[in-house]
Amino acid sequence: MSRIGRKPIPIPAGVTVAITPTHLEISGPKGTLRTPVPFGIRFRLQDGMLMAEREDEEAKALHGLARALAANAVRGVTEGYTKELDIVGIGYKAEVQERRILFSLGYSHPIEFPIPDGIDVKVERRNKPIPEYQMTLIVSGIDKQLVGQIAANIRSLRRPDAYKGKGIRYADEVLRLKPGKTGK
């Protein structure tokens, strides 16, 4: 049996779970999320704990997945998720205007990135020691997958350079820079 699938999910106070055969609807202080339930998996609520059970051995591969998706939804509606991105490079900047982000990333034109519903983006400016100028983007929301996908899409606008490290990177990302050419 799946080790992850067997673990019960504690339901905190203020969170309600509606169970149907095809999906879970989890509501909390930050909002409501709807999580699909794979075929062959069923959920039950018992003593403030949400349990994932499989009906037969054919659903074995989906047991841990279904439980993890439900746990992520419970955490999302109570705490939420955040991803931090650093914009590193002289002249590289970002600015939030209404429901879009305007980037200046060294291209010949500014890049306009729309912010989808359910996602909040904040820009923090930080002056790092010379020679780098750095800004931090904070992407937050209740849906873990959507927060991660938006952060990945923003990072793909200008990936970090292998030689100088300029570009957009995750705050906890470790870059190994190439040494470049050697002189005489």
| pLDDT tens digit sequence for 129-155 | 544 568 899 999 999 999 999 999 999
Greatest pairwise CA separation for the chain in angstroms: 73
CA atoms in the 13 A half-sphere facing the CB of 69: 19
Q: Which two tokens stand for residue 10?
A: 């504690």
Q: What is the pLDDT of residue 184?
A: 60
Distance CA 49, CA 138 (A): 32
Percent pLDDT > 70 in the chain is 93
pLDDT band at residue 125 under the 50/70/90 scheme: confident
Report the percentage of the chain scoring pLDDT > 90.
Answer: 78
Mean pLDDT taken over the chain? 91
User: Which of 57-66, 70-79, 132-141 is most confident?
Assistant: 70-79
Whether 142 contacts 77, CB under 8 Å: yes
3-class secondary-structure state, position 147: helix
Between residues 181 and 80, the one the model is more confident about? 80
Q: Which of 75-79, 86-90, 121-125 has the highest mean pLDDT?
A: 75-79
Beta strand 81-88 with 134-141: parallel, antiparallel or unpaired? antiparallel
- Is residue 115 within 8 Å of residue 121, measured between CB atoms? yes
pLDDT of residue 131: 47
pLDDT of residue 143: 96
Residue 161 has pLDDT above 70, yes or no: yes
Residue 46 token pair: 């018992």
pLDDT of res. 181? 84
Residue pair 28/17 in contact (Cβ under 8 Å)? The answer is no
Instruction: Give residue-wise pLDDT tens across range 15-43.
Output: 999 999 999 999 999 999 999 999 999 99
Mean pLDDT, rounded, for 118-124: 94
